[in-house]
Amino acid sequence: MPDWNSPEELAKASTAMIYITHSFAGVYFWEFATSLDFEWSYLSGQRKFRWPITVYFLARYLALTAMIGALIGYDVKSGLNCRPFFIFLQMTGNASGGMATINLALRTIAIWQRNRYVIGLVVLLIMGHWSLILQGGLLEASQVPGTGCVIVHTNVTVLTANFIVSMVFDLIVLVLTAYRLLSLRGNHQNGLVSVLFYDGLIYFVCAFLANLVATVFMTLNLSPVMSIIFNVPSTVICAIASTRAVRSLAKFVADGPHIYYSGSIAPSGSIVFRPHALPNTRPGDLLSLPTSRERQSQEGVHVQMERIASMDESVAKG
């Protein structure tokens, strides 16, 4: 067993961490660049801005900030105040992961029609999670001539607790979402339920595995560098999975079939099936309230109701 805290092993671990960071930064930059059309759709007015999308943008741009800062921290060999700079990077990375988790939690609240017990549980989980995130920047870094900034100490206990709580949070949100959607799916097979279920499942699997690997290395506590060597991959994977889930839902609402429920999304509600999105619905607009004339002009099977609300409207208002 090597001495993980020896100068030689610390140098090897630092080199490996630099390679891993550059690799995953490249992956995230590619993902970011190829999905900029989603941002443009809001700037150009193609999609209507609603407040839940703020969480999407925060998760996305906090991760981008963390990746750019990490490259600066590892590639600039002198002139950096290492400790505050690396604390900033740790905080932005952790905050991105927190926003990625909230992305899925908002969908769960909406699917449960703002049930106060679900809201209370989610709010408690968010508060507990963020109480750990805000403590996650406790680390020490110093400048090594010719090498740059090197991490010499990390608060492994808080970081480990942060990742464990994140995994538990994701699991609880997934179970709540799956239970609600499966109860709907048993009565009405439809594409929106499948999108919400499988996107949530994919996000959970990706986030859980990424956080699990990072947690294992933090628990082993081999050295200050090895303890956080997989934090960057975890941040990137969670950010990509979370933001893709949001974009997938928005595109489905714009292009796919809609199911309208009377008043709520309870299985007993009257429903209307129609094959295409409303002609006046902007791509990605998660609020679809058709007028009487629009309803009469649509093809398909119709049921007259006093108020028609879409399940995706609930997700948008989450």
CATH of the domain at 165: 1.20.1070.10
293 in a structural domain = yes
Instruction: Average the pLDDT over 246-271 and give the result.
Output: 52
Q: How confident is the model at residue 291 (pLDDT cuts 50, 70, 90)?
A: very low
Asked if residue 263 and residue 131 are part of one domain, the reply reads no
Which of residues 225, 255, 285 is at a domain's end?
255
Supply the pLDDT for residue 208.
87
Asked if residue 249 and residue 291 are part of one domain, the reply reads no
1 in a structural domain = no
154 in a structural domain = yes
| Distance, CA of 177 to CA of 179 (rounded, Å) | 6
Supply the pLDDT for residue 126.
92
3-state secondary structure of 143: strand
Indicate if the pLDDT at residue 239 is higher than 70: yes
Supply the pLDDT for residue 254.
58
* pTM (predicted TM-score): 0.75
Supply the pLDDT for residue 246.
87
| Distance, CA of 210 to CA of 204 (rounded, Å) | 10
Asked if residue 99 and residue 37 are part of one domain, the reply reads yes
Asked if residue 170 and residue 120 are part of one domain, the reply reads yes
Check if the beta carbon of residue 59 is closer than 8 Å to that of residue 92. no
> Chain-wide mean pLDDT for the chain?
75
Asked if residue 276 and residue 207 are part of one domain, the reply reads no
Asked if residue 177 and residue 203 are part of one domain, the reply reads yes
39 in a structural domain = yes
Supply the pLDDT for residue 84.
81
Asked if residue 140 and residue 66 are part of one domain, the reply reads yes
Which one is predicted more confidently, 5 or 245? 245
The DSSP result for 144-201, as a single string, is ETTTEEEEEEE-HHHHHHHHHHHHHHHHHHHHHHHHHHHHHHTT---HHHHHHHHHHH
Report how far apart, in Å, the C-alpha atoms of 240 and of each of 34, 205, 253, 267 are. 12, 13, 20, 32
Domain count, the chain: 2
3-state secondary structure of 299: coil
Indicate if the pLDDT at residue 56 is higher than 60: yes
Asked if residue 269 and residue 125 are part of one domain, the reply reads no
Asked if residue 298 and residue 269 are part of one domain, the reply reads yes
200 in a structural domain = yes
211: CB partners within 8 A, 6+ apart: 163, 166, 167, 170, 234, 238
Supply the pLDDT for residue 255.
56
Domain around 297: 258-317
The residue type found at 94 is: N
Contacts 24+ apart (CB under 8 A), 37-44: 38/247, 38/250, 38/284, 41/283, 41/284, 42/284
3-state secondary structure of 110: helix
Q: What angle do CA 1, 226, 220 make, to 5 degrees?
A: 65
Strands 271-274 and 148-154: unpaired
Check if the beta carbon of residue 79 is closer than 8 Å to that of residue 106. no
Q: How confident is the model at residue 312 (pLDDT cuts 50, 70, 90)?
A: very low
Asked if residue 73 and residue 122 are part of one domain, the reply reads yes
| Distance, CA of 110 to CA of 113 (rounded, Å) | 5
Q: How confident is the model at residue 147 (pLDDT cuts 50, 70, 90)?
A: low
Asked if residue 219 and residue 101 are part of one domain, the reply reads yes
Asked if residue 110 and residue 242 are part of one domain, the reply reads yes
299 in a structural domain = yes
Check if the beta carbon of residue 262 is closer than 8 Å to that of residue 308. yes
CB-based burial label for 29 (10 Å; 0-12, 13-18, 19+): middle
Which one is predicted more confidently, 314 or 120? 120
240 in a structural domain = yes
Indicate if the pLDDT at residue 314 is higher than 80: no
Instruction: Average the pLDDT over 158-176 and give the result.
Output: 88
2 in a structural domain = no
